[in-house]
Amino acid sequence: MTGIERIIFATIFIAAILFFLKNVFRLFAILCLGKWENRFDHLWLRLGNLIKYGFGQKRVVAKPFGINHFFIFWSFMTLTIVYVEFLIGGMFPKFNLRFLGDIPYGIILSVADVMSLVAIVAILIAVTRRTFFRKKSISANFEAYFIPSLIAILMVAYFVSNSCEASLGNLEFIKWQPVTASLAAYWNGTDPHTIHLISRSAWWIHAVVLLFFLNYLPYSKHLHILASLPNCFFKSDTLVSTVPLKQLKKGEDLGISKVVQFTWKDILDFMACTECGRCQDVCPVSQTGKVLNPKGIIHECKLNIFKNGDVIRASRPKDMLASAPLNAKMQIPLVNGSELSVDKEALWGCTTCGACMEACPVFIEHAPKIVQMRQHLVMEKSDFPHELITFFEASEQRFNPWGIAPTDRIKWAMDLKVPLLSDVKQAEYLFFTGCAGSFDSRARRSTNAFARILNQSGISWASLGNEEKCCGDSQRKLGNEYVFNKLAVDNIATFKKYGVKKIITQCPHCFNTLKNDYKQYGIELEVIHHTQLINTLIAEGKIKVKQSDDNKTVFHDSCYIGRYNRILDEPRDILKACNGHSPLEMAKNKTNSFCCGAGGGRMWMDELPGKRIYHERTLQALDTKASTIAVSCPYCMTMFEDGLKEEKNPGQVKVRDIAELVADTMIV
């Protein structure tokens, strides 16, 4: 390497590093624009997540092609070491890592050698995949080929340069580099001067491509190389990412209408997205041909924060790391209005089923962002699908979505003996019936069945009767924090009045809300889903069932019980106890279950254009040839019954709540 070469390289190198640092600083400054959120707790746990999901790529390898990514990731991790040596060596030719000791250095070189080959193979597989076996959710744009090409060029240049040097006898550690050694033979018989020239050219290509790659990252979806590891570290430490409790006060933001109202972690989410499309593949809304695409929302937010963030930064060059001012003007609106904005219809499509968050390899939290954008539309603008107005008003005035008189709530009991807390004053368990279980005529039948089980079991239980109000789940998910807050505050006051500690719910929506949302009000309740209780009652012999021989029952996991709260085995165990067989399974089950379409407040809205989600799920259930669809959620029940009606299924396949199946076979 000549002196001039070294000077030229040093200049390019320093310029590239400075430019890279400038870019990293820009990214950091953009993160700082967001609101503060504490994600620095449980650091050991976070470190574990970083190792498991970041370095271990646990969610990435959950899909077959993820293994390919795993190899690319680890080849980069290991190659980083020799690339640092390579870059410093470009300026100081005598520099190398041999000071670590011959054996460690030899190992490093051999790993780099092998991993470079692995990377080439993995890149070829990746390119083949996106050319010939491309999923719809993966885009095959310029970037999709440009980055793999850069990586391939890097690796090839590495081998060309090294093998040339090896054939010239310049590599002392060649016995550690099997791939290079075997390639070196290729140059036998070539003029040494030519080999030298080729080697130098390859070295320069490698150097320039490497430095270019470093600086191209922040401008491409390969920004995830920088952002996804921190994103795994800062991931939500709870299974369910509940929207933060809003201060409903004058002057406070009511939801999110500007991209800078997101927190820094939300913005990190945007940066961490690789557009791998796994969220889109599992989203029931995307999969039924509707506007919503979780990947699209995150991507639009990312472009939005970059565009708006740069404008804000330019307007206050001296105050680079401060959060955005409250009155910051946005050049690009967050919702509707440009290609860098989120589509409003997409926001209303979400069922908050959480499949996207379950699938995301880097733990992007989609649903709370969608809910917070809805909050702004509902609370600040009163801008929501018109059919929701009756829902909101009924919730506020009659404390239930049906708009039926609250004094009719307890009518579900009919002639059944139902102890009321107002009479008995105290009971071990409160059975929180929920609005569907109280007012929906079909769901009332399962409420009745469950009450019969409770009575048979002999445990101490009671109902709030007409004192119960809607839990507020749909209202909250639809962004109406105002009404949710009223309902939550009232219910919590009632719980406190009677000293309620343990609550049974039959509705997964009540379950999740009482368990995870009400916690934000400082009340810790032991919330039990009826499938958990029934399972325990059977196991403890408090109720006995007459086992039948039925292997034609399929179980549908409701999102809020399964994916959100991991109650997966209990309903299956109950069905096994009743039927003598484990239930049939749909292809999409347990934590990968496919939403019925009623969550996130969609229960109260008209279907959007596209296929109907409930119909899609019903077809999936019918594919198992089941004669009974067992559910553990009143909303899912409504959806399946509607789906079956569309299939013109006059009573052949039945939808039954697990409580009904148990009550039917219970030995009284």
Partner 1 sequence: MHVVVCVKMVPDTTQVSINPETNTLVRDGVPFITNPYDTNAVEEGIRFKDKYGAYVTVISMGPPSATAVLRKGLAIGADEGILLSDRVFGGADTLATSMVLAAAIVKIDKTRPVDIILCGKQTIDGDTAQVGPGIAQRMNISQLTLVNEVLSVDEVKKSIKVKRKLENYEEIVESVLPTMITVEREINTPRYPTVPGRFVAEDSVIQIWGNDVLKLNVQEIGLNGSPTKVSKIFAPVRDKGEIVMGEGEQQPKAITAIFDKLVEKSFLELK
Query: Which residues would be at the binding site for partner 1 (CB under 8 A)?
Result: 248, 250, 254, 379-382, 384, 386, 389, 392-393, 397-398, 404-407, 482
- Mark 148-171 as b/e (b = at least 16 C-beta within 10 Å): bebbbbbbbbbbbbbbbbbbeeeb
Report yes or no: 264 and 34 within 8 Å, Cβ to Cβ: yes
Give the shortest CB-378-to-partner 1 separation in angstroms. Answer: 8
> Nearest 5°: phi and psi at 504?
-105, 135
Which CB, 403 or 610, lies closer to partner 1?
403
Give the shortest CB-537-to-partner 1 separation in angstroms. Answer: 28
C-alpha dihedral, 550 to 554 to 558 to 561, nearest 10° = 40
Give the shortest CB-435-to-partner 1 separation in angstroms. Answer: 16
Give the shortest CB-523-to-partner 1 separation in angstroms. Answer: 24
- Mark 202-236 as b/e (b = at least 16 C-beta within 10 Å): bbbbbbebbbebbebbbeebbbbbbbbbbbbbbbe
- Among left, alpha and beta (phi > 0; psi -120 to 50; other), residue 414 is left
Contacts of 242 (CB under 8 A, 6+ apart): 368, 516, 517, 520
Give the shortest CB-665-to-partner 1 separation in angstroms. Answer: 17
Give the shortest CB-663-to-partner 1 separation in angstroms. Answer: 16
Which CB, 156 or 404, lies closer to partner 1?
404
Q: What is the DSSP letter of 335?
A: B
Amino acid at 146: F
Which CB, 380 or 623, lies closer to partner 1?
380
Residue that has been written with the tokens 């959710």 in this structure: 137
Which CB, 96 or 485, lies closer to partner 1?
485
Give the shortest CB-273-to-partner 1 separation in angstroms. Answer: 31
Which CB, 381 or 496, lies closer to partner 1?
381
Give the shortest CB-403-to-partner 1 separation in angstroms. Answer: 8
Residue 462 forms beta bridges with which residues? Answer: 430
Q: Return the closest-CA partner of residue 168 out of 202, 146, 142, 199.
A: 199
Give the shortest CB-30-to-partner 1 separation in angstroms. Answer: 29
**How far is Cα 10 from Cα 499, in angstroms, rounded to an integer?**
73
Which CB, 221 or 477, lies closer to partner 1?
477
Residue 629 forms beta bridges with which residues? Answer: 554, 655
Give the shortest CB-543-to-partner 1 separation in angstroms. Answer: 25
Give the shortest CB-398-to-partner 1 separation in angstroms. Answer: 8
Which CB, 381 or 442, lies closer to partner 1?
381
C-alpha dihedral, 47 to 53 to 56 to 59, nearest 10° = 170
**In which element (H, E) is residue 491 found?**
helix 481-497
Contacts of 249 (CB under 8 A, 6+ apart): none
Tally of CA atoms within 13 A in the half-sphere of 157 that contains its CB? 19
Report yes or no: 360 and 241 within 8 Å, Cβ to Cβ: no
User: CA 512 from chain center: how many Å?
Assistant: 17
Q: Return the closest-CA partner of residue 400 out of 444, 430, 437, 431.
A: 437
Give the shortest CB-386-to-partner 1 separation in angstroms. Answer: 7
Which CB, 240 or 254, lies closer to partner 1?
254
Give the shortest CB-478-to-partner 1 separation in angstroms. Answer: 12
Which CB, 172 or 380, lies closer to partner 1?
380
Tally DSSP H helices, then E strands, for the chain.
27, 7
**In a 10 Å sphere around its CB, with 0-12 CB exposed, 13-18 middle and 19+ buried, how is residue 650 labelled?**
exposed
Which CB, 191 or 415, lies closer to partner 1?
415
Which CB, 375 or 516, lies closer to partner 1?
375
How would you classify the pairing of strands 429-432 and 502-505?
parallel
Which CB, 596 or 637, lies closer to partner 1?
637
Angle at CA of residue 481, ends 470 and 510, nearest 5°: 30
**How far is Cα 537 from Cα 529, in angstroms, rounded to an integer?**
13
Report yes or no: 312 and 33 within 8 Å, Cβ to Cβ: yes
Which CB, 372 or 535, lies closer to partner 1?
372
Which CB, 320 or 405, lies closer to partner 1?
405
Which CB, 217 or 377, lies closer to partner 1?
377
Give the shortest CB-245-to-partner 1 separation in angstroms. Answer: 15
Give the shortest CB-324-to-partner 1 separation in angstroms. Answer: 21
Q: DSSP 3-state assignment of 239?
A: coil
**How far is Cα 222 from Cα 218, in angstroms, rounded to an integer?**
7
Which CB, 60 or 371, lies closer to partner 1?
371
**How far is Cα 585 from Cα 589, in angstroms, rounded to an integer?**
7
Give the shortest CB-323-to-partner 1 separation in angstroms. Answer: 23
> Nearest 5°: phi and psi at 528?
-125, 130
Cα separations in angstroms, 16 against 203, 225, 506, 517: 17, 18, 60, 48
Q: What is the DSSP letter of 140?
A: -
Angle at CA of residue 662, ends 659 and 667, nearest 5°: 140
